[in-house]
């Protein structure tokens, strides 16, 4: 079997809480992102962009999200408040994948979002290929207008995902996967 297929068969997400230092350095991250943006792109719109969160800025972003979570739900239980406060303290690097929707292009929004989603998935695959762990998360923050403003998103932009990247600090067992035979059919005329 080819190494590429082996990589796909072994790839799995590493929970962000189980990711620590190191993350890819600047050279490794650039190579990863240059590979990640090689996605199918109907109309050659490049309907995506990336925002890097690292170091103090990542922690400040996480703290502001935790404050927003509590404003959104003042009755949020303490356990969930703590989860929100810690969310951005584990993985040393978070890449925000943003879709830039171009309504006047004639390309449906869903295709543009799928293009950006492919970038997020390529980041996951690339991180795994380089020996790192990664997890693609969304949650409430991906859809919150105040978070969009905090990130400086334009009206035609939306968060596709927050991809947390680092080195796994524990063995991460793979989860059960669906059986292909349960998913595959053949269309017959």
pLDDT tens-digit profile of 49-88? 999 999 999 999 999 999 999 999 999 999 999 999 999 9
Structure token digits, residue 30: 């650039």
Burial class (CB in 10 A: 0-12, 13-18, 19+), 52: middle
The answer to whether 141 touches 150, Cβ cutoff 8 Å, is no
Determine the structural domain holding residue 85 and report its residue range. 14-169
Enumerate the β-bridge partners of residue 49: 98
Helix (H) or strand (E) holding 125: helix 109-129
Give a yes or no: residue 138 inside a domain. yes
Give a yes or no: residue 143 inside a domain. yes
Give a yes or no: residue 114 inside a domain. yes
| Residue 36 banded pLDDT, cuts 50, 70, 90 | very high
Mean pLDDT confidence for 9-16: 93
Q: What is the pLDDT of residue 172?
A: 87
How confident is the model over 83-102, as pLDDT tens digits? 999 999 999 999 999 999 99
Give a yes or no: residue 116 inside a domain. yes
| Residue 2 banded pLDDT, cuts 50, 70, 90 | confident
Give a yes or no: residue 24 inside a domain. yes
Coil, strand or helix at 22: coil
Structure token digits, residue 163: 């991809």
Give a yes or no: residue 184 inside a domain. no
Q: What is the pLDDT of residue 16?
A: 97
How many domains does one find in the chain?
1
Give a yes or no: residue 189 inside a domain. no
Look up the CATH number of the domain holding residue 39: 3.40.109.10
- CA gap 136, 90 in Å, rounded: 14
| Residue 173 banded pLDDT, cuts 50, 70, 90 | confident
The answer to whether 134 touches 119, Cβ cutoff 8 Å, is no
Q: What is the pLDDT of residue 1?
A: 63
Cβ neighbours for 166, distance < 8 A, ≥ 6 positions apart: 14, 19, 20, 21, 22, 23, 90, 91, 92, 93, 132, 133, 134
Mean pLDDT confidence for 138-164: 98
Give a yes or no: residue 110 inside a domain. yes
Q: What is the pLDDT of residue 49?
A: 98
Q: What is the pLDDT of residue 165?
A: 98
């Amino acid at each position: 079997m080819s190494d590429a297929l082996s990589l796909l068969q072994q790839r799995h997400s590493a929970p962000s809480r189980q990711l620590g230092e190191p993350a890819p350095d600047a050279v490794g991250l650039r190579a990863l992102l240059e590979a990640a943006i090689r996605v199918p792109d109907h109309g050659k719109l490049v309907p995506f962009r990336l925002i890097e969160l690292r170091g103090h800025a990542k922690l400040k972003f996480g703290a502001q999200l935790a404050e927003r979570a509590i404003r959104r739900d003042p009755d949020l239980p303490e356990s969930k408040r703590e989860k929100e406060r810690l969310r951005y303290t584990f993985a040393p690097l978070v890449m925000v994948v943003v879709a830039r929707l171009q309504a006047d292009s004639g390309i449906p929004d869903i295709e543009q979002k799928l293009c950006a989603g492919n970038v997020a998935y390529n980041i996951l695959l690339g991180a795994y290929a380089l020996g790192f762990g990664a997890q693609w998360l969304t949650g409430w923050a991906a859809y919150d207008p105040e978070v969009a403003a905090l990130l400086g998103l334009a009206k035609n932009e939306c968060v596709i995902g927050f991809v947390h990247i680092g080195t796994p600090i524990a063995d991460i067992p793979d989860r059960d996967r669906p059986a292909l035979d349960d998913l595959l059919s053949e269309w017959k005329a």
